[in-house]
């Protein structure tokens, strides 16, 4: 599907499609085969032969990985490594809020209850997934990247099974919602950081977008609707926003839970005002209105300081190329260590592995 073919009719149809191959595997497991649930959360599953419904999901995920151009993926992963903590910052302050602003998608997130009942665990899982698929080692030296995508496909299907699509009026976690999430984790993060003063090499930015296109295809999104470059991604972002971003109680609920987590992490009086201003700066007006974000002069002054920090980093990278490798190593080390500490707090497995799904 090219940009000129984006239309409401075709995207309405996307909301009626989930991930049939993965959904079929889940139905098989719940039809008297629950002993296979444990298999779905072990990387060893990629080397096993399992009943056909499950094996079809494994084989399909592997096959989807064949579209990956390693040169492009490595370029996108280098950009991520150089800006690992920045992108994690953008994930929390831009990408997730942009997802919550989508009224229909946020309804599913609230019904699923994970974000409402345990936001810290849910945010940790999201951060770990991003790290796992953007870690060069997980595609060059092992299959952890493929496994991470396989497990997420499976978890999405579990959620679909637990939500009544008749009451919802559409398929939960459908093709458009998944596409919007991929756009959020890629284009929204880049653009949000640019709004704060960062800049990116054009080719590397395109590679970063394509890296997420690869991941999107591997988690079950139809290849034809995924962006092929940053220009595609920008047009898709606007089109999906125009269709989905509006005020909703569910979006407000999710944003409140995100803010509650952030305020516990940063127990500073008035921090919510700064965070609202930050999200407004990193996203766009429709998101601000949908989530009822507040503004203040004090927050704007704090934001100007944050912007200066990002401009200094951009200046350093652009004018002193030798710093790129150093920054890549430091940034990625910080991200890995942050997730490792969080894994201890959450009493989870090592952050190199994804979180187990619990019924």
Question: Is the residue at 328 inside a domain?
Answer: yes
Mean pLDDT of 270-296: 90
Question: Is the residue at 356 inside a domain?
Answer: no
pLDDT in tens, 135-162: 888 887 778 899 999 999 999 999 999 9
- Give the model's pLDDT for residue 333: 65
Answer yes or no: is pLDDT of 175 > 70: yes
Question: Is the residue at 351 inside a domain?
Answer: no
Answer yes or no: is pLDDT of 2 > 70: no
- Determine the 3-state secondary structure of 348 from DSSP: coil
**Residue for token pair 């976690």:** 173
Question: Is the residue at 353 inside a domain?
Answer: no
Question: Is the residue at 295 inside a domain?
Answer: yes
Question: Is the residue at 330 inside a domain?
Answer: yes
Question: Is the residue at 34 inside a domain?
Answer: yes
Residue span of the structural domain in which 167 resides: 3-345
Total structural domains within the chain: 1
Question: Is the residue at 350 inside a domain?
Answer: no
Question: What pLDDT band is residue 214 in, cutting at 50, 70 and 90?
Answer: very high
Mean pLDDT of 338-356: 43
Contacts of 9 (CB under 8 A, 6+ apart): none
- Determine the 3-state secondary structure of 171 from DSSP: coil
């Amino acid at each position: 599907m090219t940009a000129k073919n984006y239309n409401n009719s075709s995207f309405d149809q996307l909301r009626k499609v989930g991930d049939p191959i993965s959904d079929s595997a889940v139905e098989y497991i719940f039809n008297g085969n629950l002993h296979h649930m444990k298999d779905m959360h072990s990387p060893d599953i990629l080397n096993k032969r399992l009943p056909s419904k499950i094996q079809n999901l494994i084989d399909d995920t592997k096959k989807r990985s064949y579209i990956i151009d390693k040169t492009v993926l490595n370029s996108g992963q280098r950009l991520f490594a150089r800006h690992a903590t920045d992108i994690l910052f953008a994930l929390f302050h831009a990408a997730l809020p942009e997802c919550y602003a989508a009224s229909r998608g946020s309804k599913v997130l609230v019904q699923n209850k994970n974000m409402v009942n345990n936001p810290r665990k849910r945010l940790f899982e999201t951060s770990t997934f991003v790290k796992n698929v953007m870690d060069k080692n997980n595609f060059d030296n092992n299959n952890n990247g493929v496994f991470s995508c396989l497990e997420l496909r499976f978890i999405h299907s579990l959620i679909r099974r637990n939500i009544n699509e008749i009451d919802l009026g559409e398929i939960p976690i459908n093709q458009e919602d998944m596409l919007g999430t991929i756009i959020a984790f890629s284009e929204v993060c880049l653009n949000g950081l640019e709004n704060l003063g960062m800049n990116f090499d054009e080719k590397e930015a395109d590679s970063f977008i394509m890296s997420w296109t690869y991941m999107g295809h591997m988690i079950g999104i139809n290849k034809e609707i995924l962006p092929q470059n940053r220009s595609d991604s920008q047009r898709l972002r606007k089109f999906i926003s125009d269709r989905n971003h509006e005020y909703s109680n569910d979006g407000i609920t999710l944003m409140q839970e995100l803010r509650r987590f952030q305020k516990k992490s940063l127990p500073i009086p008035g921090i919510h005002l700064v965070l609202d201003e930050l999200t407004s700066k990193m996203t766009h007006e429709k998101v601000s209105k949908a989530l009822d974000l507040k503004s203040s002069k004090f927050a704007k002054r704090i934001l100007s300081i944050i912007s200066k920090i990002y401009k200094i980093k951009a200046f350093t990278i652009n004018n002193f190329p030798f710093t790129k490798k150093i920054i890549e190593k430091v940034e990625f080390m910080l991200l890995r260590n942050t997730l490792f500490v969080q894994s201890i707090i959450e009493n989870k497995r090592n952050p190199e592995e994804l979180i187990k799904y619990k019924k």
